[in-house]
Structure 1
Amino acid sequence: MQFQLDPRFYYLANFHKALAWLRERYDDVLIEAELAFVERFAELPLEAQALLVRMIMRKGPHFRASKLDYAEIGCPRQAALPLLAAGWIRQDAELPLEALFSLLRKDELLAQLADPSFKTLKKDQLFEHLAEQHEDLLQPFADWCPTLDEQVFSLTIGELCERLRLMFFGNLHQDWSEFVLADLGIFRYESVALDASSRGFRNRDDVDAYLFLRRCQEYFEAGGAVEEVLELIDQTPLDSPLIARRHAKLRFRIGQYLEREGAFDAALLCYADNPYPGARQRQIRVLERCAQFAEAYALAQLAASAPRDDAEAQLVERALVRLGRHLGHARAAKPKAAPPSRLDLSLARADDALRVEFAVLAHLHQDHSPVHYVENRLICSLFGLLCWEAIFAPLPGAFFHPFHSGPVDLLEHDFLARRAERFEACLAHLHTGSYQDVIRQTYADKYGIQSPFVFWGALDETLLQQALDCLPAAHLHAWFTRLLRDIKANRAGMPDLIQFWPAERRYRMIEVKGPGDRLQDNQRRWLAFCAEHGMPVDVCYVQWAEA
């Protein structure tokens, strides 16, 4: 085909690749209208195909013909004729005033709809004025602007294209521009072996349920009645793990909204038996706010016996103290943890825009003991480099298109269990001393490839070498093991700075707090973990000298 030879049609070639991918993997899921679209699309003239893909990739659904000006396509009105015949676009769609305002400039609106005396109004003010006159009016563009030499094309297959995009990517936050970004080398992705069975949805019902929950979420976020949303989403079948997770998340978000509104009974229903992280802890908190102390205490004890993650364990421990006080329980004696090592600095603030972390970095940095701002990026990057093979293992359901920056199940509870032997093999390098060579080789081989852990922009060769020289393998093993225990929570909260003494092969981490700043819960958990394993960490409290 011609588009395969002409580089100007790169976007069209990519769209054909996506359609072929879908036919190969979703032939049993695609319905008649989608199959007909795929077949008929390939029969269209080249310019018509290209124009349709351009419209699909742009924000729509309404487009001025004069704005569809692409050299490789030529006249957009001529290219649109087969699309009009197919019914995939229209030129007589009834438009509301809001759509008209998104299409026209202010001077065009004044010429077509308003008295020129309104030219002093801003565009949004003009809309408010005209909305009173044209409330609920719907009419074709030609009726809105009879004297304007322009055509407006409206895409009628937006939902069909959205469904195809969802099936290809397995989500709706990625779009067709992924092909372009990859072709240009802006994003590079790991090459994972995929077969014809690699796909994100099991069947048509999963696709429909995903889109249904998405519409319910949009309706809720637009201010729709909460009771109606809950009634709708409770009709969703939950036999698919993907759909069950999205359902649990939406119920949790609705519960948070109800809690803020003071509708505690309704919020409790959203939190009860909800597996979404944080739901059980919110349920305990709402029971406490409703003075149902015995129920809250019993649930907190259950959570404490088997916490879902470190964050829940920390919050539940506090809740048990508060609830026990309300119920008159004697407080169990608990050894008080030693506070982290403290460093107090009074620094001159040379630049108001300078972040406090960088002021401390500049103050402590020495040629023989360099300081780097790393926060969560260094430890996560080292983990990602050492365990690259395990992270990108081609397991069923983990990858199903070429544009994954990480496995789909990265944050699921069974992520580690499915790869236990692979991670064990990667971490074993820390015991044999070969980990440094593995990390360096991965850094060289995979540099710039998207990863959920590796921050290429923050990890240059100097920092990498200093880290490998100064960080003990035992400490790396402890950090990496903790990361794997709860990736979502534990890849955040690490200290801001790290200082190395390469000649002595030692280091210290530094958490920086400016005036009035306090340690966050995830930071406290990391500090406690470091103290438990003998890792050197200081909490640096800064005061500005002029204050």
Structure 2
Amino acid sequence: MANPLDDPLYYLHNFRQVLLWLGQRYADLLDPDEQHFIQHFDSLPQASQALLVRMVMRKGMHFRASKLNYVEVGCTHAATAPLVQLGWVDEHSPLTFETLFALLQKGEVLAVFKPWIEQPKANKADWLEALAAQFTELRSFTQWCPQTTDTLYSLTVMDLCDRLRLMFFGNLHQDWSEFVLADLGIYTYEKVEFCAESRGLRSRDDVHGYLFLHGCQQAFEAGLALDEVLAHIATLHTDNPWLEKRRAKLLFQIGQYCERSAELDLAEQIYRQCAYPGARSRLIRVLERREDYAQAMALACTAQQAPESAAEQQHLLRVLPRLRRKLGEPALPKTKPRPVTRLDLALAPPDELMSVEYCVQAHLSEPDAPVHYVENGLINSLFGLLCWEAIFAPLPGSFFHPFQRGPADLHSEDFHQRRAALFAACFEQLRDERYKATIRQRYADKWGIQSPFVFWNLLSDELLEQALACLPAEHLRYWFERLLLDIRANRAGMPDLIQFWPAEKTYRMIEVKGPGDRLQDNQLRWLEFCGEYQMPVTVCYVRWAEPA
């Protein structure tokens, strides 16, 4: 089979594919400039198309002609002329000194600005601050460097192409390299049927809303005054639940930053208006830090009536006794945690590159009782293989481009509800031996295809067969049901190791803690869960033995 990358214009074919896809699925969302771009792109000479796409797929928006050397494009100046005529490339774009400085090599900066450079032998970066203070005006490249024979081409359609990329992917964190990675076979994606309603962005307002929040995120990360950022965020009006979740997540991140910066008044204000999971727990923490124990207690008691997650419930079990003490209220009887089997090991110090988990694995593993380092990978993978059809069901709003690792609504509150019948059919197989055949078949048929649950680099024939032989179907069902209760929280925190006894068809999970390490909250929740359903789990505490 021919390698698509053997074609020197592979990237142009990919870009054309995006434009065709957008023309077919997003025609009603395109503004006049975007429509004009798509219509006129096809009429360009192939060399001009190729050069434009090369620039779009590179970093930045300013490119020196001397750096644009592509065999398949030929003469850069000839290929650029039609782009300049359309206004998509500018030869005279005004540049700040900082922008120019990044485009020039050290010798070029020295040649142009030598009279203003006090230490010619210093590093290039050492000159920037002093020179920038002296040259504050905007000039074109040739005005800054009148002796140059080079030409600077500046893209004027980068923002437009970013909007097209946003509409295609439904996000801005994926870029054009997705095509290359897929062409190389590095990433393989499940082929899903796209229905007419399968679009990441449903209206032009959604496009504007996403870009608006992206700009707010960039402003926050750039250090803009928080009151300005928050005021800006508050001006967004949208009826799109997905965008509201993005807004809530951004507010949550700003609230956490305020906590770390001890701006507790502002953190409290943010958390009170934030619907992101965990915001209520953070607000309780902030109220406690501000010594407003009465309000913290009132909010904690309200949360206790209907915890939003196991994580919040765990937090409340810690904070409520503390608040009662601070308010002078009598202590409530403590609920003892379920006892967990403990294993203490004194092991020889390992080589520097060997983790404590691998040390325990090597120590405990026996030919008839192998130990595997699986952490979260095994249970998630078995779930992903058994429930593949439910996870990749082509429901509206779940899949809208060919490069999705999983459904877009994976972490939505109604993810399970929308697929309840499909998951029920998968779980029904756990009542007999059908689930084993399904998992084996999916393992063979779907090998290497991207999934939000399956860890292909972990799985092997041996591990899969031992797991299917030793893990009771009832335990699998308990794990899988817990995953669906809160995918974001419950897919992590599982014990590090698993040991199988294939002859007896039994197993135990082992959480490993090295010297000075302690159990994290999500690990404690999993241990409690395993204890509730009488699943064999051990916490192994390791200390390094003194040399003899």
Of 72-81 and 444-453, the range deviating more from structure 2: 72-81
Distance in 2 between residues matched to 1:123 and 1:385, nearest whole Å = 54
Distance in 1 between residues matched to 2:498 and 2:470, nearest whole Å = 11
Aligned to 1:455: 455
Distance in 2 between residues matched to 1:202 and 1:346, nearest whole Å = 59
Distance in 1 between residues matched to 2:378 and 2:6, nearest whole Å = 44
1:170 correspondence with 2:178: no
Please say if residues 252 and 271 of structure 1, whose CA atoms lie closer than 8 Å, have aligned partners that are also in contact: yes
Q: 1:112-261 alignment to 2 at 5 Å?
A: 112-114=112-114, 118-134=119-135, 136-261=136-261
Distance in 1 between residues matched to 2:463 and 2:64, nearest whole Å = 52
Aligned to 1:389: 389
Of 106-115 and 418-427, the range deviating more from structure 2: 106-115
Please say if residues 248 and 274 of structure 2, whose CA atoms lie closer than 8 Å, have aligned partners that are also in contact: yes
Aligned to 2:10: 10
Deviation at 1:97, TM superposition (A): 2.5
CA deviation profile, 1:310-340 (whole Å, cap 9, x unmatched): 1111102211111122223222224312331
Distance in 2 between residues matched to 1:502 and 1:464, nearest whole Å = 12
Deviation at 1:265, TM superposition (A): 2.4
TM-score (norm 2): 0.96
Secondary structure of 2:95's aligned partner: coil
CA deviation profile, 1:5-26 (whole Å, cap 9, x unmatched): 9922111111111111111111
Which ranges of structure 1 fall in alignment gaps of 5 or more residues? none
Amino acid at match of 1:176: W
Deviation at 1:114, TM superposition (A): 2.5
Aligned to 1:96: 96
Please say if residues 22 and 167 of structure 1, whose CA atoms lie closer than 8 Å, have aligned partners that are also in contact: yes
1:21 correspondence with 2:49: no
Deviation at 1:422, TM superposition (A): 0.5
Deviation at 1:154, TM superposition (A): 0.7
Q: 1:358-437 alignment to 2 at 5 Å?
A: 358-437=358-437
Distance in 1 between residues matched to 2:490 and 2:392, nearest whole Å = 20
Deviation at 1:185, TM superposition (A): 1.2
CA deviation profile, 1:23-62 (whole Å, cap 9, x unmatched): 1111111111110110011100000001001111110111
CA deviation profile, 1:58-86 (whole Å, cap 9, x unmatched): 10111111211111111111111111111
Amino acid at match of 1:243: L
Please say if residues 386 and 435 of structure 2, whose CA atoms lie closer than 8 Å, have aligned partners that are also in contact: yes
Aligned to 2:542: 542
Deviation at 1:98, TM superposition (A): 2.3
Secondary structure of 2:229's aligned partner: helix
1:286 correspondence with 2:286: yes
Please say if residues 5 and 183 of structure 2, whose CA atoms lie closer than 8 Å, have aligned partners that are also in contact: no
Amino acid at match of 1:131: A
Amino acid at match of 2:479: W
Distance in 2 between residues matched to 1:465 and 1:101, nearest whole Å = 60
Give aligned-pair identity as a percent. 58
Please say if residues 195 and 394 of structure 2, whose CA atoms lie closer than 8 Å, have aligned partners that are also in contact: no
Distance in 1 between residues matched to 2:6 and 2:16, nearest whole Å = 14
Distance in 2 between residues matched to 1:119 and 1:441, nearest whole Å = 68
Amino acid at match of 1:314: Q
Distance in 2 between residues matched to 1:376 and 1:296, nearest whole Å = 34
Distance in 2 between residues matched to 1:162 and 1:5, nearest whole Å = 24
Amino acid at match of 2:545: A
Please say if residues 5 and 184 of structure 2, whose CA atoms lie closer than 8 Å, have aligned partners that are also in contact: no
CA deviation profile, 1:93-149 (whole Å, cap 9, x unmatched): 122222223222222322232269844212211323423332x23211112222232
CA deviation profile, 1:515-536 (whole Å, cap 9, x unmatched): 1011100000001111111111
Of 218-227 and 348-357, the range deviating more from structure 2: 348-357
Of 142-151 and 123-132, the range deviating more from structure 2: 123-132
Secondary structure of 2:512's aligned partner: strand
1:467 correspondence with 2:488: no
Which ranges of structure 2 fall in alignment gaps of 5 or more residues? none
1:308 correspondence with 2:308: yes
Distance in 2 between residues matched to 1:71 and 1:151, nearest whole Å = 19
CA deviation profile, 1:361-406 (whole Å, cap 9, x unmatched): 1111211111111110111011100000000000000001111100
Aligned to 2:518: 518
Of 267-276 and 354-363, the range deviating more from structure 2: 267-276
Distance in 1 between residues matched to 2:335 and 2:118, nearest whole Å = 77
Aligned to 1:82: 82
Q: 1:32-43 alignment to 2 at 5 Å?
A: 32-43=32-43
Q: CA 1:524–1:6 in structure 2 vs 1: closer, same or farther (change >3 Å)? A: closer
Aligned to 1:499: 499
Of 410-419 and 249-258, the range deviating more from structure 2: 249-258
Distance in 2 between residues matched to 1:236 and 1:265, nearest whole Å = 23
TM-score (norm 1): 0.96
Secondary structure of 2:8's aligned partner: helix
Distance in 2 between residues matched to 1:450 and 1:518, nearest whole Å = 33
Aligned to 2:268: 268
Aligned to 1:357: 357
Distance in 2 between residues matched to 1:37 and 1:527, nearest whole Å = 57
Amino acid at match of 1:128: E
Distance in 2 between residues matched to 1:193 and 1:353, nearest whole Å = 45
Distance in 2 between residues matched to 1:502 and 1:6, nearest whole Å = 48
Please say if residues 374 and 458 of structure 1, whose CA atoms lie closer than 8 Å, have aligned partners that are also in contact: yes
Amino acid at match of 1:422: L
Distance in 2 between residues matched to 1:27 and 1:286, nearest whole Å = 47
Distance in 2 between residues matched to 1:319 and 1:153, nearest whole Å = 60
Distance in 1 between residues matched to 2:444 and 2:385, nearest whole Å = 10
Secondary structure of 2:42's aligned partner: helix
Distance in 2 between residues matched to 1:5 and 1:357, nearest whole Å = 41
Secondary structure of 1:346's aligned partner: strand
Q: CA 1:10–1:307 in structure 2 vs 1: closer, same or farther (change >3 Å)? A: same
Amino acid at match of 1:474: E
Amino acid at match of 1:181: L
Distance in 2 between residues matched to 1:343 and 1:114, nearest whole Å = 70
Amino acid at match of 2:46: L
Root-mean-square deviation (CA), in Å? 1.7
Secondary structure of 2:396's aligned partner: coil
Please say if residues 509 and 536 of structure 1, whose CA atoms lie closer than 8 Å, have aligned partners that are also in contact: yes
Please say if residues 24 and 196 of structure 1, whose CA atoms lie closer than 8 Å, have aligned partners that are also in contact: no
Please say if residues 309 and 486 of structure 2, whose CA atoms lie closer than 8 Å, have aligned partners that are also in contact: yes
1:529 correspondence with 2:529: yes
Of 393-402 and 122-131, the range deviating more from structure 2: 122-131
Of 262-271 and 244-253, the range deviating more from structure 2: 262-271
Please say if residues 195 and 396 of structure 2, whose CA atoms lie closer than 8 Å, have aligned partners that are also in contact: no
Distance in 1 between residues matched to 2:13 and 2:521, nearest whole Å = 49
Of 343-352 and 482-491, the range deviating more from structure 2: 343-352
Please say if residues 110 and 118 of structure 1, whose CA atoms lie closer than 8 Å, have aligned partners that are also in contact: no
